[in-house]
Structures are given as structure tokens and as C-alpha cells.
Structure 1
């Protein structure tokens, strides 16, 4: 049985890797050409710039560091400058997010900043680390300028280097932009798609996420990166300190051993029985000059030995016998008396006794020295002198500092690359998908019961296509299922709610019809008043009146429950309700009770029906639609805005319909007359704002009247 295994090839990733390789190749090739021609230009940031602009900061930094590493093949010092190339990638990334390369001012500012980064840092690296580079033309020009003007060399070198780098980075940017324009747009898009583990966010979505993140106190990305940065920094410092300490101690021990060997070699060539003769006759003593010549050879061939001399130790001090540095400022003539140094005083007795002493560190005008003393005894076993070898620890320290600086420069570029890699991986695997998911979920939550918004958010969440292959992807799939189920559940609830509302509306209409059917001449009163109420409440909202009160829910509650405003008439006898003439005072008082009766009926319904909050406005309209703005209405004599807004709206609608419709006791008023009466009641019987918006909507009112055949 043949089994075939197919591996899915990520073509977008191949394009991205090819882009990085092309950037490295462009940098190395251009740098090699400039180096071969001995020109004061580099052009080795061209690839860094276009890779950063297309693929992002991490791949730009990767291009920069690898470029300087490969360039060591033809310029061994290039690795020290990788930090400059990495900083150029960082600045390019930051600039591209905030500015455009279409504005001349922005482009010049970008080039100037790159020139300053390159020029100033390269001079510092060359001069303080002692690294020579190809741009001797710039260095020589700076030296000549400083000599001619008296201007300090270092600032002069920096200014000239910045000026040269303006041209260098300008040309590099031009070449980079040319590459970007030549590259097809779909290739750039595919490379961008390979960088993240999800759908690339649009600019609008990115801005939405940034606004959402602005309220956060911290960021997972920066918290994790800061931890890595701190940990890496502490680890590097600790390892560097341990390594340097071990190196210093090892080098120190090697020099101690070499100095000890030098002392023993010297002891073999110096005749101890001739020491007193050397002291008295000096260079005229037989064999003195030959011995001194041999001591020179021993010193010059001993690792790290800077000084070699012989001294005769007495109680009152030390007397010079041989000093190989007599011609220097630190040399002494034969017979010169030297006092014991403070560092040697604790060992004075041992020295006088001719004992071999441990190496002693001291600091003096000669520098930081490590002294090894070897006792030389004659044939009788008596101490005649000490052979002294001095090792310079200051030289070792300077060498170590120079070594540390070079290592730090090399590590700086790599360190930036490591941090950029951590930021990139944290972004694509954690913060970027988490931010996108959280932003979508937050909008999903804010959508509330808006089904259209819920469905749109579900589609947007599912379109993220997060495929990190870890717990984040599992979380994403769970959120997709959760939001989809929630949206479907909300759809089911909405259908149920709409069915319930339809049933409630049907009950309301039924109750209203039961009342209306007893009134022989109302003529679709409940339908028309409900329509007028809708016109008035929407007009108030349109003009901004009572904005804090008129919400979508208020409008819905008022319009839906308007048909119940006369439900209390069910308690009024047909004799009074359908009386063709004017009611007596007693009958009128009975008729007025339909308001309180309606209030009681609806309050009982509210207490019975859970969630029937919309009936609260029905109660207000039933109870108070006969109240007057001036307080002369019934049943409680409320006035002004003390009267519930829904009742004030219904008052206008109810009276207008009563005027414009025929009744058993009167014919219908003409429309103009009805409108005139309503206008006259503004501010006394009615809320003037309700009258205002009603009059302004006469075209809609006429449509309603025509619909019910009353025009």
C-alpha cells in the first residue's frame, strides 16, 4: 500500500524570505562596490529600508544584522556597525507609521535623521573603539579642517560624516522606493499576509483597535517584551561579568607564572657572589653589562612583564643593583635608595628574612602593577638581593575595556534583533490576535439586541481567520462558536419577543375594540388617535424637545399602548356613553370616571403581567389624557409638565379626533376649524410643544383622515 504525504507549501512565506534575502544581497553587493571603489559612501542600508517598509521592523532588523555579519568577509570591522543598521530599520518602521514618503518635508526629515544616526554613531565607534573603516577621505578631511580652523576634530568629523550620510541615505532611499514601486502590489500584499497568523487588518480596524487599547493600563506585548529585555540584559551582564572575571583572573595567573619564570631565569644568569661588586663598581664591574643584556632578553621574552630589576634589601630601604629602565622617567641609577612602598610594609620582615613572597598589587606613578619578588642567595645561603618583575594590570584592564566595548557593539545589533524577534512573535501569536478578538467581542457586547450589528460582528470575528496553531487559535474558535450561538439565540429570542408583542398588541386592540364597539359613533377612534400620537411623539423627537424623556422605548410604549387610553369607558353605561344629546352634570361626572377606571384596569394588568412595563404609559394616558396644561382638567387637576408626557400627547390627539370626527351629539368640524381650536388651546389646555409639532405635520394628519374617509 503506497502512502503519500503532502506538505503544504506556504508560498507567501517563501516570498517573504526571498525579499529578506534580496535585501541582504543588495546591501552586501552595494557595500562591496563602494568599499572596492574607496568611495566615502556605503549604500548598505538600501535593502534594510525596503524590507522594513514591506515586511515590517523585525525583518528589516534581521536584514540589517545579517548584512553586517556577511560584510565581514570583505570588511572585518563591519560587525561593529550592525547596531547602526538596526537603528535605521527601527526608525524607518516608526516613520512609515506616522508619516508619508509623498511629502518632501517628511522625506528630508527622514533622511536627515538617518544621516545623524549613521554619522554621529559611526564616528564615535571609529574613534573611541579604535576601528578603522573605508572612509579615510572623511577622516582626512576632518583632520585638515580641524588643523586649518582650530575647530575640534571630533565635532568636525561628525558634521562631515553626517553630510556624507545625507547623500548616502538619500540615494539608498531612492533605490529602496524604486524597488517597492517595481514590486507588484499583490506580491507586497502576500508578503504582508505571511507576517501575521490571521487576516491582515484594514486601516480602519487597526485604528479601532488602537482606540480600544488606549483605555488599557498596559499591554501584553510590552509586558512580555519588557520581561524578556530585562531578563536578557541581566543575563548578558551576569555572563559578561563572570566571563570577564574568569578571563582577567586567568590572564593574571598566566602573567604571574610568566613573571615567576622570568625571575627564576634571571636568578640562573646572575652571579650572587658578584652583587656587592656590582653595587660598588656598577657598569665597570666585570660581567655587569653582559648580565644586564641577558636580563633584557628575559624581560622582552616574558609575557606581560613590563619591569625587571634587582634590588638589595636593607632595614632602611631598598638599593637598586640592576634597572632595565634607567633611561625612562621611571628608571633608577645603580645604588639609588628606594623606600618600602606602603603595600610592601606588611611583608617587610619576610622580605628581610629572604622569604619568597606572594605577588603584591600596588598603584603608583608607574601605574597599576603586580609585583613578583624572588630572593637570590649566595653560595653560603645568605640573601644578597631580590629579583623583581612587575606586571602591568592597567594594560590588562584597558585591554579588557576595549574588548568589552567591541563585544557590546557586536552584541548590540544581535540584542536588538532578539528583542525585535520577541516583539514580533508576541505580536503575531498573542497581542495582535487577542486585540483583534477582544475588539470584536467588545463591539459584539455593545451591539446589545441589534440583530444586524450582531450578525455583522459575527461575520467580522469569523473573517479574522486566526491560525496560530496554539491555545490562542482554540480560544478564537470557541469565541466564534460562542458569538454565533449568541447571535442565533438572540434571533430566536427576538422572534419570540416579536410574537409576544404581536399577541400583546392584538390583546390591546381587542380590548380597545371592545370599548369602541359600545360607542356607536367613534369611527376608528383608537386607530386614528394612535396614528396622531405617533406623529406628535416623532415630531417632538425630531425637534429635540424632551430629549431626555423621548427614547426609542418610550416612543414604542406610547404608540403601542395608545389604543387603551379610553379602556375605562367599559365601566360607563351605554345610556350615558351613546346619549345623543348633552350630558347632565351627574352624567358628566360619571363619564369622567372612565379615567380613574382605566387607570385601575391597567394597574391590575401591570401587576398581573410580568415585564409589561409598556403598560405604564398606557396607564398614564388612560388616567390623565383629560388633564389640562393650566390645571383645570380632571381627574386630579394636574398642570404643566407634572402631567405625564404621554398623556399630554394623547390629549392633543384625542381632542383633535373628537373635533374632526362626527359624534352622536354633534357633526364633524371642518379641518381648519378643528386646527384653529387646537391652536387656541396651546398653553392653556394643551402642551404648546405638542401642538406645534402636530400643526407642522398637517400633511401627515390629512393622510390619516383621508385613509379613514373623513376628508
Structure 2
């Protein structure tokens, strides 16, 4: 949306005109009745609070330019009125104009500002008592023996305290008379709201672009003022010397006159410089800083983690509708197109990843079915154990155990990988795998190799299909689900213990043994669930991880439902 339009420019110019009228009218009333007050900055404070620093500065500067038409000395106080606007504008941005006590607390700032004003008066009137509102008070103090400069400062204090207090209170009530929606609209036009937004969001940054720009503008402006000062000094000095054809002049007096002249010019030019810098800052806010800030903010907040989040982020970026008519607009349009292209690419990539993921799951399921079909004793063993693992893992997560590893994603991976825990049995001869009687020691040693064979097979699968979380976990489970918690010799193939055994394998160890106990085998009848759980409990801390056993007991009801659903 384009903010700098003819309509908005008219609004700002109208504010400036209103402020100047208020200043001149109230100052004229004060002069007419002979009040010992200036009252020439109420409009300056009011407009600075309402529309921001720039229009307030312009009100102060123009007021003094108009006053200078009848009283030349007024012209040189333009910088002071500009600084009055600067204080009021900054105070308004920080909410001072929302409460009367906070407004009154600004009085010391304006009293301090009267000191450079007193110095300027001292210079303008050639180190004599100035001819202004405070002159009676200054003369009185000087007659009491105080130096002229000290008398000027104290006399100005006596006038400025009531003058600025009345001005602050009057500008506050004028500000509060304006409806809130109008205040907000005018604040947007002058950049007041922009500065508040940028300061709130850039608190942790060393220096924002806006601050850097302001510093460089002030440096450039001060360099211009210095050059103008030296040129004025040399030009004025040469002109004065030329006025003394016989060379009969006092160099010290001439130098003093030249410095006084240049000081007056510097005071006037400095006020104009502050207005120009303020305008440049408002312009930069609208066409450079704010558009860049909004783009950076939305990019930083871009939600890459979900399709819905990405769609919302893209919509927010497109809703910025930045129209500056320069390279910033080109950058915004290029950024918008790039974001849309990236979103489309992510959607396509996610779709491809989902297809590959489903393929991996189907391969895992097929491999598990092959294992189950070869072992006539297992029945629904792989389905039940996978379900047990899922139930136990969810309970561990719910109870706050192993939270450094357990997540919803981890549990889903475990559910998919668990059916491959006995994949190594594919390489065990049928005669041993399906033997109806008790295995010999040699045959049992062969059966035990299914863990290392399973690991080898899954490593080969990863080399072919690429590494995935499913295959990584399936390898851990296949290789380690017969390890014992206490590291005894009964555990195999490595004889590791405790948390050195992967969590997925520790969960499967409980699920695998429990299912073997409650299942019918050619060499035994199924145990009851209660008896099977008793055996599991007795081996907690030796064979099994105690935390996993405790979790299984807490979800006994769910475990029973699985046994019933997949009964043989």
C-alpha cells in the first residue's frame, strides 16, 4: 500500500498550518494583554504530539520565520523551537501525552533548553540585556549585582517555568480533544507509528537501519553547517575589511562582530537543518526502512514446518503490497515470487518424500510378513509385539521417562520398525526354526545368530535404499533386543548393559518375552497374562529395564486388549 499520496501530503501540510496559527494567535493574545509569557510553542508541542517530530519541527521553524518579519531577533530562535518540537515528538512516541502527570514531568527538559536560549540572547544583543519578555526580570537581577549572563539565565528561568508549564498543559488538552482514530491515522502519515514499531522490534539489535541513516544524515548536515559557517565568516570578514579603505579598524572588534553574525546565521541554519533531517527520516521510513523491515519480519516468521503455516506466511507476504516506485518495490516483487516458488517446491518435495516413505514402510511390512510366514510358531507375534512397543513407549513418554529420546515421532518410528526385530531368522534353516521339540545347544547357538544376521541384512538394505530413521531403529532392535539389562552372559550378542542398550531394543525385549510367554508353542502351553507379568516383574533389573516394566504394568489393560485382538 502506498502511504505517500497527495491526500496524505495535504493532511500533513494542514497540521503544520494549524500549528503555526495556534502559535501566532496565542502569542499575539499574550502580547496584547502584556503577559510576561511567550506562549508561542503550544501549537508546536500539540502538532509534534499529534503528527510526529517532523510536522512539529516545521511548525516551530515557520512560526519563528514569520515572527522574524516584524522582529529580526525572533528569526534566530528557530532552532530552539525546533528542539521544543523534538522533545514533544519523542515524548509522544513514548506515551507521555496519554497522562497529564507524565506531561508535566517534561518541564525540566524545557527548562534546561532555556539555557542555550539565554546564551543565544546574550550573543544576539551583543552581551547586553536582551530586549524580550524576560528583560524586566533580567534587569532586576543585574541591578542586584549578578553578571549579565547569569541574570539572563535566571531571568529566563523565571519566565520559562510558567510559560512551558502552561504550554505543556494546553497542548495536552488539545491533543486529547482529537479522537483516537484520527490521532492514529495522523501518526501513521508522519511516521510516528513506524518509529514506535521499529523501536519495539529492534530492542535486541545493535543498530537498526533507521538509526544508522539518522546518524549519517546528521553528520552530513553538520559538515554542511561547518562549511557554511567558515564561508560566512570569511565572506563577512572580507566585506567588512573592504568597508575600511584606510585600514583603520580594530581587528579584535571586527572578529567579534563577524563571530556574532556567523553565530546568528548558524542558529537559523541549524534549525532548518534539523527540519530537513527530520523530513528525510520520515521519507526514508516510508519508502526504505519500513518496507525492508516488514519484508524481513515476515521472512523471519515464515513457517516452513507445515503446509498450512507456509500458506499463511505466503499470504501475509503478498498482503504487504509494497509500492514504493523504486528498487525496494522490485525487491519485494522478486521476494514474493521466490517465496511462492519455494513453497511450491517444498510441497513437491514433501510429496516425493511421502511417496518414498510409504515405499519404505511397505518394504518393511513385506519383510516382516516374510519372517512371519517362515516361522510357523509365531502367528501374530510381530503384530502384537509392535503394538506392545507402541503402548509401552507412549506410557513412558506420558510419565516423563527418557524424554531426551522419546517423542511422538520416535514412537511412530518404533511402531514401524518393531516388526523387523526377528528379520535375521530368514537365514535360519527351517529345520531349526520350526523344530517342534527342544533345541540342542548347537541349534540354539544357530538361533542366536539371527541378531547379527538381522543387523547385517538391515545394513545392506540401508546401503541400497539409503538411511532412514526406520531402518536405523530396526537395526538397533534386531541386534540388541536379546541383551540383558544387567549385562549378564545370558544376554547376546554383545553382552552390553543398562542404557548402553538402545531404548527401542529394551522396550522390544519386554514385549518379545511377554508375547512368547502368553503364546502357544509346540513345546509349551500359553501362560496366563498374570503369570507372564509376574515373570516379567521378577526379571526387572536383571533381564529387563525396570522403567519399561513399570510402564507395562501401568498399561496392563491395553496390553490385554492386544492379546485378545490378535489371539491365535
| Distance of aligned partners of 1:408 and 1:671 in 2 relative to their CA distance in 1, 3 Å threshold | farther
Alignment match of 1:620 (pick from 458, 470, 476):
476
**CA separation in 1, counterparts of 2:232 and 2:41?**
34
Q: CA deviation at 1:477?
A: 0.9
Aligned residue number for residue 140 of structure 2: 144
Q: CA deviation at 1:474?
A: 0.5
- 8 Å Cα contact 1:41/1:164 also seen in 2: yes
**CA separation in 1, counterparts of 2:385 and 2:173?**
73
Alignment match of 2:300 (pick from 439, 442, 446):
442
Q: Higher Cα Rg: structure 1 or 2?
A: 1
Aligned residue number for residue 348 of structure 2: 492
Instruction: Tell me how many residue pairs correspond in the alignment.
Output: 561
Task: Spell out the pairing of 1:262-411 with structure 2 (5 A cutoff).
Answer: 370=247, 390-411=248-269
| Distance of aligned partners of 1:152 and 1:396 in 2 relative to their CA distance in 1, 3 Å threshold | closer
Aligned residue number for residue 233 of structure 1: 222
Q: Structure 1 regions of 5+ residues with no counterpart?
A: 1-7, 260-369, 371-389
**CA separation in 2, counterparts of 1:700 and 1:108?**
71
- 8 Å Cα contact 1:38/1:135 also seen in 2: no
Deviations 1:477-507 (A, max 9, x none): 1111111111121112112212221222122
Aligned residue number for residue 236 of structure 2: 247
**CA separation in 1, counterparts of 2:232 and 2:148?**
36
- Alignment partner of 2:244: what SS? helix
Looking at secondary structure, tell me which structure has more helix per residue.
Answer: 2
| Distance of aligned partners of 1:404 and 1:541 in 2 relative to their CA distance in 1, 3 Å threshold | farther
- 8 Å Cα contact 2:483/2:492 also seen in 1: yes
Q: CA deviation at 1:195?
A: 4.2
| Distance of aligned partners of 1:501 and 1:702 in 2 relative to their CA distance in 1, 3 Å threshold | same
Q: TM-score when scaled to structure 2?
A: 0.87
Aligned residue number for residue 360 of structure 1: none
Alignment match of 2:117 (pick from 107, 118, 122):
122
Deviations 1:186-209 (A, max 9, x none): 333333443469xx7797x74774
Aligned residue number for residue 508 of structure 2: 650
Alignment match of 2:274 (pick from 406, 416, 423):
416
1:169 is the counterpart of 2:164? yes
**CA separation in 2, counterparts of 1:202 and 1:521?**
75
Aligned residue number for residue 85 of structure 1: 81
Q: CA deviation at 1:105?
A: 5.7
- Alignment partner of 2:321: what SS? coil
| Distance of aligned partners of 1:58 and 1:573 in 2 relative to their CA distance in 1, 3 Å threshold | same
Aligned residue number for residue 70 of structure 1: 66
Aligned residue number for residue 329 of structure 2: 473
Aligned residue number for residue 189 of structure 2: 194
Deviations 1:98-142 (A, max 9, x none): 45445666433223323332x323222222322887853x44234
Looking at secondary structure, tell me which structure has more strand per residue.
Answer: 1
1:607 is the counterpart of 2:463? yes
- Alignment partner of 2:249: what SS? strand
Deviations 1:44-96 (A, max 9, x none): 33333333333322222222222222333454433222222222222233334
| Distance of aligned partners of 1:75 and 1:663 in 2 relative to their CA distance in 1, 3 Å threshold | farther
Aligned residue number for residue 509 of structure 1: 365
- 8 Å Cα contact 1:209/1:435 also seen in 2: no
Aligned residue number for residue 202 of structure 2: 210
Q: Structure 2 regions of 5+ residues with no counterpart?
A: none
Q: CA deviation at 1:640?
A: 1.8
| Distance of aligned partners of 1:162 and 1:450 in 2 relative to their CA distance in 1, 3 Å threshold | farther
1:26 is the counterpart of 2:22? yes
- 8 Å Cα contact 1:39/1:135 also seen in 2: no
